[in-house]
Amino acid sequence: MMREARNFSKTPMKIRTPTFVANAIAILFLAMPAALRAQAPDGPIHPLHMDADSHAPAAIEKKPLPRHELWGNWTLNAAKSDDARAKLEKARSSNGGSGRVWTIPGGRGGDRQSAAEHNRADDVIYPQNSFALAHNDAQVVLTDDEGRKRVYFTDGRKLQKSKDDKYKELKARWDGGRLVSDEKGPNSISLTRSFEISPDGQHLYETLAVDLGAVIGFVLLRYIFDPAKPEAEDATVKKPSSGDVKP
C-alpha cells in the first residue's frame, strides 16, 4: 500500500510541469501584441512624408567679386546715394539762409548766378550718372558719360588752365586707398572730394565735404556707385594716352 501511494504521488508532478510551461508561453504570446500595439496609434501606419521643398537650399544672392581698386566703369546708385539738393537746402534753411553767397545748384535763386555759373555749380556738386576711372603713373583720369575728362595729378606738378569744360586738371593726393582732391567752383564754392572702395568691395564711394562758410560749416554728401554690368562696359576705357593727358 505504501509503495502504491508513493507512485501515485509522483504522477501529478509529471503532469503539472509541462502544463506550467505551456501556460507561461501562452501568457507571453498574449502579452506581446499588447505591448506592440501600445507603441503606435490605432489606424494604418503611413510612411514619413518628407517635403522636398522644405529641405531645398535657400537661394543665395550672387554678388560680384569684391573690388580693391578704383579703376573701371561705375554707375550711380541713386537709391543709396544722398539727395544733395535736399541736404544743402536743409543746411542753408536751418541757419536762416546765411553762409556763403551762392545758390544751391538746381535750387532757388536763379537771379544770383548766370546760367553758365549754374551749370558749372551743378557739375561740381552733383554726381555723374556713370563714369570710368583709369590711371597711368601719377595721373588718374575720370571720364564721365558726356565725354568730359577730369585729370587728377598726384605728383604736385604745375597744372594747366582749362580752356573749356571738356578737360580739367586738378591736384590730388593719396590717403591710403582714397584719392582726395581740394576743388573750387563758381561763386566761392569750395569742397574736398574723395574716391574710395567700400569696405565690402561692392561699391565705389564719392564723398564731398562742401564748405558753406563759417556759420554752417561743411555738409557731407556721399554718392554710391555700382560696378557697371559687363554688357554695359565700355571697351574703349583704358589707360590715358598722351592725347588724353597733357604733359
**pLDDT tens sequence across 194-243:** 999 999 999 999 999 998 777 677 899 999 999 998 765 443 344 344 34
Structure-derived torsion over alpha carbons of residues 123, 127, 130, 131, reported in degrees to the nearest 10: 60
Does the pLDDT at position 176 exceed 60?
yes
What average pLDDT does the chain have? 75
Q: What is the pLDDT of residue 32?
A: 59
182 vs 29 pLDDT, higher one: 182
Q: How confident is the model at residue 66 (pLDDT cuts 50, 70, 90)?
A: confident
Does the pLDDT at position 59 exceed 70?
no
CATH code, 72-232:
2.40.128.20
Q: Which of 108-122, 136-150, 226-240: highest mean pLDDT?
A: 136-150
Q: What is the pLDDT of residue 75?
A: 97
Does the pLDDT at position 69 exceed 50?
yes
Q: What is the pLDDT of residue 81?
A: 97
Q: What are phi and psi of 231, to 5 degrees?
A: -70, -15
Q: What is the pLDDT of residue 11?
A: 47
Angle at 51 between CA 49 and CA 54, to 5 degrees: 145
33 vs 194 pLDDT, higher one: 194
Average pLDDT over residues 12-26: 60
Does the pLDDT at position 132 exceed 80?
yes
Reported as half-sphere exposure (CB side, CA atoms, 13 A), residue 12 has a value of 4
First to last CA, the chain: 146
Q: Which helix (H) or strand (E) element contains residue 191?
A: strand 190-197
Q: What is the pLDDT of residue 20?
A: 66
Q: How confident is the model at residue 90 (pLDDT cuts 50, 70, 90)?
A: confident
Reported as half-sphere exposure (CB side, CA atoms, 13 A), residue 168 has a value of 19
Does the pLDDT at position 245 exceed 50?
no
